[in-house]
Chain A
Amino acid sequence: MDLQSNPETEVLVENGQQNAASAWIQEHSPRALLRSAFREDRFFLVLSVFIGIFSGLSVVCFRFAIDWSRLYLLGTGAVLTPVRMLLAPSIAGLVIALLVIHFFPTTRGSGVNQTKAALYIFNGNIPIRTAIGKFITSALAIGSGHSLGPEDPSLQIGACLASMLGRKMRLSRDRMRLIAPVGAAAGLAAAFNAPISAVLFVIEEVIGRWSAGILGSVVLSAISSVVVMRWFLGSESLFRIPSVQLKNPTELIAYAVLGVIGGLASVVFAAGITTLRPKCKGLPLWTQYLQPAIAGLLIGVIAMLGAPQVMGAGYEYMDQAMHGQFTWQFLAILAGAKIVATLLSFVSGTPGGMFAPTLFIGAMLGASVGGVQHVFFPHLTGSAGTYALVGMGVLFAGFLRAPMTSVFMVLEVSGNYSIIVPVIIANTFAYVISRALQPIAIFDLLTRQDGLELPSMEELREEDVLRVEDAMQPVEGPVLDSEKTLDQAMVQLDGAGSDDLLVRMSPSGWNSVSKKELHTLANDGKGASKLGSLLPIRQVPFLHPDHPLEIALRYVDRWPIVPVVSRADFRQLEGVVSQRTVLERYREFGEG
């Protein structure tokens, strides 16, 4: 019957239309639209852009501050006078120690772990004082010649700003937790002029996993901060080298050798830090006032002995190394001297980053190894710049243990994509060697030395995941068909070991029934009825063998057995899981 021809239904339809219309009007009212626009998840995205802008602006100011302090502390010339070399880092060290001990105690170290701690321990809260302290002390340290870099402090400044904005915006606890990494990505992206690397680093080292919820915000903040930074500091990539032409694939062996040497250097560098840092921290409190100054003095001595290049972040010298301006012997000396200088600065508790020193050591080591190889194999076509760039990636992969970031970082800081194959090969060697010789990554070791237990991103990445197939058992007993009658099903029951039986529903889906229920239905005289019509409408959920086993936990307490079916054909049964088998599997896994 036509609905419209029935007077009763006409009224119903009219009412329905009116309801729908009013619902539409309500949904599209300015207030509703405003409410929808400011829903927290959307608001978080908008806020990410602001975080990026503020972080970008702060990083620009931070760069100015570093340059100005260098100018006034070390002088305007490229050649430093011995007096400044010795006095600038020493006196700055004293001032920094006072500031850190009395005003900004949370500014020690690089800043990466502090950001992780904000995410995992402090619900995203980082006091703004940390950002102010980090800004002042790091600018002073780097500008005065301490062997540290501006990237990690930028990351922390970004995270602090984000945290402050999140607090002011009264974000929920979940969002607050995520806001620090968003700011960290913005700060790092602006410091490196490398948005992809920043996003990857935050994912690899801070958050630890790819999550759609956070990725959009991280990308937005990184991009907006880079746009701001480029507005003020220009869009040129950090280093420029001619494109690499790999004429002979055997040349990749040379890069593999660089990867091996870089891996070993990473281990030495990391071991130095993890050994000396607790010893320096364990010294009496009064020595904490002197440690940065003594470190600065020793760095000044290294500079006076002929390696002034180790002072500060050293980007200009990386550039010079890339342009073949040093002999391979001197490059090797610089790599070693920089390791020592950075160890001194870092273990003395001077605030500053590890990224730039890592890149410096890598660049010098790479160019040096390239130089040696050219002596023995003059036919190799890779330039000093190529080896230096690959070397940077190698140390990044080996020391900081961020393999993905290390590859993209090299590509972004050079704007040169032709180098990708050598970088991947060398980084892989360095990463594998570093992992083999020092199983715990540097950031995790530092965290543990500080008495915190933050999740290790490397361990998270490599954690074994139990899957449904690991707990899956073959089906015991017959699988019933919903199209068959109860009597036919009862025939199949003979010899069935299990109490619970699966029923394949038609046209799709699964259900379960116990022997007892079947007997009860049969006794009620429903033997001729189709099984499907007798079972409850609510069906049993099914799983696939590749599902993580934790998904099975959602169902096994409500259904005695859960079918595991093929992804190609949902009616094809691969096995079953039950609460018992799942828990047994977890127990076995826990026992190792």
Chain B
Amino acid sequence: MPEEQNDTMASPKLAKYRFYLRQRPALLVALSILAVVFFLAVTGLSRAYYRQREFLGDRWSARGYADLKANNYDAAVTDFRTALLYSRDDYFYQLNLAEALIGLSRTGEASAYLLNLWDREPENGVVNLELARIARQQGRTDQAIRYYHGAVYAAWQRGEESQRREARFELVDLLLQNKDQGDAEAELIALAANANDDPALQKRIGDLFMRAGDYEHALAAYRTALRTNQHDEKAMAGAGNAAFQLQRYLLAQHYLKSAGVADSTDLHSAQLLQTTESVLRMDPFRPQISSADRSKIVMDAFSAAGHRLSSCPLPKNVTAGSVGSPPSLSDEWNTLKPRINPLGLRRNPDLADSAMDLVFRIEHQTSLVCGTPTGTDLALLLIAKLHEGS
């Protein structure tokens, strides 16, 4: 029996299958071809679409860059917002928009954009730095420190080393402001280790070491700066100040003198020099002075201490520190006064020590009560500190 006849007789179901066999594969092939054609057409459309958007994005962002440069932040925000309409994910449009917003002090909006960028690229230096600045401005110190660290170890597109250094400078500044001397010092040491001999850089490092109270490293930084430019008055002033804090008065005198010569308007250095010279002049324990000179210095110091006592009367309970019914410093001074003369000092060499001990104690106590003294009294106080424990 022929096949066709068989099929017809078999059932309408089989006929239906035959129909599908004839139709569906062919239709699927047609559909596939149609899909490919449609796909290619949409590809062409999409190219035109994206070209146009790219063009518009570039045009608006160029306006934005110009406005940003001209500090016209309001217009820059609009420009970059428009540019973002055409390229929503463009990293640099968003970053520039954030910077324009920061320029307008709209830090909340800026940080929202920056946080998005940070999510995309947590290792981006600019984003970390800007976020750190905003966090610092908003008093979120812990977050600021975290972002500063991010910026220090981040990838930077241009001038990686200098950008990292700047971020570290800001971090140190924040830490110092936050009275976190230990961490600040650690960052500064890392900063100094990676810094070149650029005098400006070394001076900045020196200044920060001074703020951190690390005078030894500060002196070293200023000295490095001076190696490149011996006549750098700021470095000399800084080195003089550091040496002064380190109680290396001769060295301080050297630097401060030079600083004064180089810049006569530097009053702070001049004042420090004056104090340094007073210290050097009024120190009775310095070597290579005659006994007559020493006696004179002791008498002058004793007299200055007496004046200090009278100008800054101590409370009655402030004594010499002995047990029982101790005499007051004033009583002690009055008791010792008749013996403090050239003859007495020559006859009894220990008397100079006793007198200076009393002078140091008077200066110390009066500084606690009346604040840091000036002039001779300050010099005596510094001499007291210099010989503490000796």
Interface residues of A (CB under 8 A from B): 31, 34-35, 38, 40, 43, 46, 50, 53-54, 57, 60-61, 64, 67-68, 71, 76-79, 165, 168-170, 228, 232, 234, 236, 240, 242, 316, 319-320, 322-325, 383-385
Q: Answer yes or no: B113 CB below 8 A from chain A CBs.
A: yes
B344 at the interface (CB under 8 A from A): no
Nearest A residue to B53 via CB reads A67
**Closest Cβ of chain A: how far from B42's Cβ, in Å?**
5
One of B27, B35, B82, B108 near A169 (C-beta < 8 A):
B27
Quote the shortest CB–CB distance from A416 to chain B (angstroms). Answer: 10
- A57–B42 touching, CB < 8 Å: yes
1/0 per residue B68-92: CB within 8 Å of A?
Answer: 0000000000100110110011000
A324 touches B45 (CB 8 A): no
Q: Report the Cα distance A232→B45, complex, angstroms.
A: 10
User: Are A43 and B46 in contact (CB-based, < 8 A)?
Assistant: no
Q: How many residues of B contact A (CB 8 A)?
A: 37
CB-defined contacts of A320 to chain B, threshold 8 Å: 81
A331 CB to nearest chain B CB (Å): 13
The 6 closest A-B pairs by CB, nearest first: A323-B112, A78-B82, A38-B24, A325-B109, A78-B81, A324-B112
B42 contacts which of A38, A46, A232, A324 (Cβ < 8 Å)?
A: A232
> B25 an interface residue at 8 Å Cβ cutoff?
yes
Contacts of B115 in A (CB 8 A): 242
A-B pairs with beta carbons under 8 A, tally:
88
The stretch of B15-23, B242-250, B261-269, B378-386 in contact with A is B15-23
Bound-state Cα–Cα, A175 to B119, Å: 46
Residues of chain B contacted by A67 (CB below 8 angstroms):
49, 53
Neighbour of A323 across the interface among B24, B28, B46, B109, CB < 8 A: B109
The residue in chain B whose Cβ has the minimal distance to the Cβ of A169 is B27
A470 to B78, CA, bound (A): 67
Is B56 an interface residue, CB under 8 A from the partner?
Answer: yes
New A-B pairs, 11, CB < 8 Å, besides A35-B21, A57-B38, A57-B39: A38-B21, A54-B35, A60-B42, A61-B45, A76-B56, A76-B59, A77-B82, A165-B31, A168-B27, A242-B116, A316-B84
Question: How many Å from the CB of A371 to the closest CB on chain B?
Answer: 11
Q: Which residues of B contact A165 (CB under 8 A)?
A: 31
Can you pick out 26 interface pairs between chain A and chain B where the beta carbons lie within 8 Å of each other? A31-B21, A43-B24, A53-B39, A57-B35, A60-B42, A60-B46, A61-B42, A61-B45, A64-B46, A64-B49, A68-B49, A71-B52, A71-B56, A76-B60, A77-B78, A79-B82, A169-B24, A169-B27, A232-B46, A234-B89, A242-B115, A316-B88, A323-B112, A324-B108, A325-B109, A383-B112
Nearest-CB residue, chain B, relative to A234 = B89
Q: Is the CB of A38 within 8 A of B25?
A: yes
Q: Which residues of A contact B53 (CB under 8 A)?
A: 67
CA distance A137 to B326 in the complex (A): 104
Roughly how many angstroms separate A67 CA and B119 CA in the complex, as a whole number? 28
Q: Which residues of B contact A (CB under 8 A)?
A: 17, 20-21, 23-25, 27-28, 31, 35, 38-39, 42-43, 45-46, 49, 52-53, 56, 59-60, 78, 81-82, 84-85, 88-89, 106, 108-109, 112-113, 115-116, 119
Given A78-B85, A323-B116, also A46-B28 (CB < 8 A): yes
Enumerate chain B residues within 8 angstroms of A324, measured Cβ to Cβ.
108-109, 112
Query: Could you tell me the distance between the alpha carbons of A60 and B48 in the complex, rounded to whole angstroms?
Result: 13
Q: Tell me how far the C-beta of A465 lies from the nearest C-beta in chain B, rounded to whole angstroms.
A: 36
A54 and B38: CB pair below 8 A?
yes
Residues in A whose Cβ lies below 8 Å from that of B109: 323-325
Of all chain B residues, the one with the shortest Cβ separation from A383 is B112
Q: Known contacts being A34-B25, A54-B35, is A325 close to B42, with CB within 8 Å?
A: no
Looking at the assembled complex, report how far the CB atom of B243 sits from the nearest CB atom of chain A, in whole angstroms. 50
Question: Is B21 within 8 A of A78, CB to CB?
Answer: no
Query: What is the CA–CA distance of A156 and B320 in the complex, to the nearest angstrom?
Result: 98
Pair B21/A384 contact, Cβ less than 8 Å:
no
Question: Does the CB pair B20–A53 fall under 8 Å?
Answer: no
A71 to B21, CA, bound (A): 49
CB distance from B48 to the nearest CB of A (A): 9
Considering the complex, give the chain B residue whose CB is closest to the CB of A68: B49
With contacts A53-B35, A64-B49, A323-B113 taken as known, whether A170 is within 8 angstroms of B82 at the C-beta atoms is no
Instruction: List, in ascending order, chain A residues with CB within 8 A of B112's CB.
Output: 322-325, 383-385
Does B119 lie within 8 Å of A242, measured CB to CB?
A: yes
Residue of B nearest to A325 (CB): B109
Give the residue among B23, B24, B43, B60 with the most A Cβ atoms within 10 A: B24
Q: Please, which residue of chain B has its CB at the minimum distance from the CB of A172? A: B16
Pick the contact of A50: B35, B42, B45, B60 (CB < 8 A).
Answer: B35
Bound-state CA distance A197–B259 (Å) is 75
Chain A residues positioned under 8 Å from B82 (CB to CB): 76-79
B39's closest neighbor in chain A, by CB?
A: A57
Q: What is the CA–CA distance of A79 and B27 in the complex, to the nearest angstrom?
A: 50
Task: Give the docked Cα–Cα distance between A383 and B112 (Å).
Answer: 9
Nearest-Cβ distance from residue B35 to partner chain A, whole angstroms: 5
